[in-house]
Structure 1
Amino acid sequence: MSKVLVLYYSSYGHVETMANAVAEGAGSVAGTEVDIRRVPELVPEDVAEKSGYKTDQGAPLIESPDVLAAYDAIIVGTPTRFGNMASQMRNFWDMTGGPWAQGKLIGKVGSAFTSTATQHGGQETTLTSIHTTLLHHGMVIAGVPYSCAELANMDEITGGTPYGASTLAEADGARTPSENELAIARFQGKHVAELAAKLAS
């Protein structure tokens, strides 16, 4: 039995949808227990409401950074903010000094997925910025190998990188994750869960 955490932040629901697909893929691996958790919102409630934030997300908030140690793999999802993870996710990881000092995440599998407004809106730098944080924790980084056929799809505009799954939301957030993007997300979840099972055995 291995345990996988899908930890995400989502303003408008795009990353939430991707998180569910990642979790679906991870859960397809026999003997894998998957939890989905959100990091807390930092935007005042009235501002979030006026901005049209999706506030009815089903995943519970993560209790504290200390719970990370209970998992064999952690898959982090966040929209991009100027080529980096969103401040809500950054704030959470900035509170992980305790687990870091104790080496609690060393040797665990880490992975990342994201959402951007455009094709060239920082998806790859956002993913690698997440990788940098996970590497400081001593985690083993997993991306999306090219055995995932959907990465090579040239028939449509689509997210998806070897660094992690991604979706393109458009500037107004009107575009929802495509089936190709969700397939990559499911592939990533399955790939990470398989690696976690091997390392845990």
Structure 2
Amino acid sequence: MTKVLVLYYSSYGHIEQMADAVAEGARAGGAEADIRRVAETAPPEVVTAAHFKTDTAHPVIESPAALAGYDAIVVGTPTRFGRMPSQMAAFWDTTGGLWATGALVGKVGAAFTSTASQHGGQETTLFSIITNLLHQGLTIVGLDYGFKGQMGVDEVRGGSPYGATTISDGDGSRQPHPEELAGARYLGQRVAQTAAKLSA
């Protein structure tokens, strides 16, 4: 069975919800899906003062070496000034050994993100994730327009051909819309299906 890793960092729980949806989609696509998060690197006083969400059912990823055990890796983070936050970047900075040996070449990759506003760096953040995946040799799957839920301007909605997205509002009060979660599931399913075809 194809194995998919959903690897995420979430400050306030929006990306955690999207990660759960991506994993649901991967399982619907016939894959086994694990969800892991990267370690929090912000000082405890910052985490407390900023009211980060610290309760989660998902364990921290054991080590970068764990990535090699999967057929596909889907990475999700919120944005920090139009790029992935330092917590996720710090993890990828430890994967040089995997890059040097080509351990991830030929696997499937994808990305998802959240921003406070509709134009708050969704696509640049997705590309900051995708760039790392491409350097590691992964084949990228986007949120193709087979998912019609990302179309239209009748209401605020996330979604990008480069990955699944949600919009949280500046105070984090907006939770992922059902259509955005559906996009995350669609992405997870496409990743699982693509990985299965490539490994056949």
Fold shared by both chains (TM-score > 0.5): yes
Aligned residue type for 1:109? V
Which residue of 2 is the match for residue 60 of structure 1? 59
- Match of 1:184, SS? helix
TM-score of the superposed pair, with normalisation by structure 2: 0.98
Two-structure CA RMSD over aligned residues (Å): 0.8
- Match of 2:21, SS? helix
Aligned residue type for 1:185? A
> Is residue 36 of structure 2 the alignment partner of residue 37 of structure 1?
yes
Question: In terms of mean alpha carbon deviation, does 46-55 or 58-67 score higher?
Answer: 46-55
Which residue of 2 is the match for residue 102 of structure 1? 101
Which residue of 2 is the match for residue 69 of structure 1? 68
- Listed as ranges, the matches of 1:1-201 within 5 Å are 1-30=1-30, 32-201=31-200
Q: Distance in 1 between matches of 2:46 and 2:62?
A: 24
Q: Distance in 1 between matches of 2:92 and 2:117?
A: 26
Q: Distance in 1 between matches of 2:116 and 2:125?
A: 13
Please list the CA deviations of residues 67-112 of structure 1 after superposition, one character each: whole Å capped at 9, or x if unmatched.
1000000000000011110100000000000110000000100100
Q: Distance in 2 between matches of 1:141 and 1:55?
A: 30
- Match of 1:85, SS? coil
Structure 1 residue 49: Cα displacement: 1.6
Question: In terms of mean alpha carbon deviation, does 148-157 or 124-133 score higher?
Answer: 148-157
- Match of 1:163, SS? coil
Asked if 1 retains the 8 angstrom alpha-carbon contact of 2:37 and 2:59, the reply is yes
Structure 1 residue 47: Cα displacement: 2.1
Aligned residue type for 2:103? K
Q: Distance in 1 between matches of 2:197 and 2:152?
A: 29
Which 4+ runs in 1 deviate beyond 2 A? none
Aligned residue type for 1:120? H
Structure 1 residue 55: Cα displacement: 0.2
Structure 1 residue 200: Cα displacement: 1.4
Q: Distance in 1 between matches of 2:4 and 2:140?
A: 14
Structure 1 residue 46: Cα displacement: 2.8
Q: Distance in 2 between matches of 1:129 and 1:55?
A: 25
Matched positions, count: 200
Asked if 1 retains the 8 angstrom alpha-carbon contact of 2:29 and 2:188, the reply is no
% same residue: 61
TM-score of the superposed pair, with normalisation by structure 1: 0.98
Structure 2 spans left out of the alignment, 5+ residues: none
Structure 1 residue 3: Cα displacement: 0.3
Q: Distance in 1 between matches of 2:121 and 2:46?
A: 25
Aligned residue type for 2:178? E
Q: Distance in 2 between matches of 1:168 and 1:41?
A: 22
Aligned residue type for 2:54? T
Structure 1 spans left out of the alignment, 5+ residues: none
